[in-house]
């Protein structure tokens, strides 16, 4: 494997406005390519917007979703990748030939679709069908995987993707700055975003505290470190529907160290060059080789009944 130059982007998407969102993806992809990047990654549902889908009916979701790879947005992404000579990862809602709905994330380059992943744990809309398989694909000689947002909070998903061969895992999110039972969680006041040019300090304190980045740092570096992988984390910044998001898209190495992180309070990207030697130097590489599956294969694989219930999974409440 050779060195690979990766960019991770953040931007303020517009709900349901694919033309606008694709124009930003085009602009940032062009800028990253001009700086020598081989690939750029965008956040979950970066083509469509995300949070507004909580209120959409099945008919509205089907109208928003597209076939992959034949849908108009996917074809535009392929055109953007070809025009800018860069591989692009971006997310959208997918519908199949039977009108099943999925949360999808794809990788394209000038030659077409390289990979498609369906979110394993979708919950923003009750009409979404969970994906049922992992995704590992080759990009410029590197083995890559994809896990979307909540998928990464179930640690078995990250380990399984690594065991299938991934040395880079793209982790697109729309996360942070939302209520939770954990201490310090909650929304960030949109007025702080509106006032960011005059008072960036107050906004940064909220973005970097336990509502945002401080929570992310509790677990994201551990995913990279424990598995000996590069992690490409992408997240929107600004308003996603009525929720404010804090960006901080970043790239981490197999030691769990941050190589590059978006710190701007607006649209942008950061870039890092990744190298293969860290993969075998990392602690995660040694831990993987020291595993004893005979001790826990039956424990990890045992069936269980989940007690978790996300409120908007209840269709009766939606209708």
**Phi, psi angles (nearest 5°) of residue 264:** -75, 150
pLDDT of residue 308: 58
Q: What is the pLDDT of residues 56-103, one digit of tens each?
A: 999 999 999 999 999 999 999 999 999 999 999 999 999 999 999 999
The pTM is what? 0.95
Whether the per-residue pLDDT at 316 is higher than 50: the answer is no
Whether the per-residue pLDDT at 231 is higher than 50: the answer is yes
pLDDT of residue 313: 42
CATH number of the CATH domain containing 175: 3.60.110.10
Whether 156 and 150 have beta carbons less than 8 Å apart is answered as: no
Least confident of 106-120, 123-137, 265-279, 298-312: 298-312
Distance CA 173, CA 176 (A): 9
Q: Is the pLDDT of residue 23 over 70?
A: yes
- pLDDT of amino acid 304: 84
Average pLDDT rounded to a whole number, residues 295-308: 85
Q: Can you give the residue range of the structural domain that contains 80?
A: 4-318
Q: Is the pLDDT of residue 32 over 50?
A: yes
Residue pair 234/170 in contact by the 8 Å Cβ criterion: yes
The string of DSSP letters for 216-268 reads HHHHHHHHHHHHT-EEEEE--EEEETTEEEE---EEE-TTS-EEEE--SSSSE
Count of domains observed in the chain: 1
């Amino acid at each position: 494997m050779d060195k690979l130059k990766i960019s991770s982007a953040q931007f303020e998407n517009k709900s349901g406005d694919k033309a606008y969102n694709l124009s930003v993806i085009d602009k940032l992809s062009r800028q990253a390519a001009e700086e020598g990047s081989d690939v750029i990654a965008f956040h979950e549902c970066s083509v469509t917007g995300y949070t507004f889908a909580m209120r959409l009916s099945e008919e509205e979701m089907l109208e928003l979703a597209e076939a992959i790879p034949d849908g108009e947005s996917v074809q535009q992404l392929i055109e953007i990748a070809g025009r800018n000579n860069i591989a692009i990862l971006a997310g959208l809602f997918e519908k199949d030939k039977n009108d099943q709905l999925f949360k999808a994330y794809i990788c394209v380059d000038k030659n077409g679709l390289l990979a498609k992943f369906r979110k394993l744990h979708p919950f923003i809309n009750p009409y979404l069908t969970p994906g049922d398989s992992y995704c590992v694909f080759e990009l410029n000689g590197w083995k890559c995987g994809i896990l979307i947002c909540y998928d990464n909070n179930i640690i078995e998903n990250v380990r399984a993707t690594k065991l299938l061969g991934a040395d880079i895992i793209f982790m697109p999110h729309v996360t942070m700055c939302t209520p939770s039972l954990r201490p310090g969680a909650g929304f960030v006041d949109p007025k702080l975003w509106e006032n960011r040019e005059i008072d960036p300090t107050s906004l940064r304190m909220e973005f970097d505290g336990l509502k945002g980045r401080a929570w992310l740092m509790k677990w994201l570096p551990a995913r990279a470190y424990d598995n000996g992988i590069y992690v490409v984390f992408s997240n929107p910044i600004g308003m996603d529907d009525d929720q404010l998001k804090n960006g901080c898209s970043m790239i981490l190495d197999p030691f769990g160290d941050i190589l590059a992180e978006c710190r701007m309070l607006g649209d942008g990207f950061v870039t890092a060059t990744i190298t293969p030697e860290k993969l075998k130097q990392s602690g995660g590489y040694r831990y993987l080789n020291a595993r004893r599956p005979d001790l826990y294969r039956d424990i990890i694989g045992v069936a269980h009944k989940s007690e978790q219930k996300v409120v908007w999974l209840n269709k009766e409440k939606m209708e």
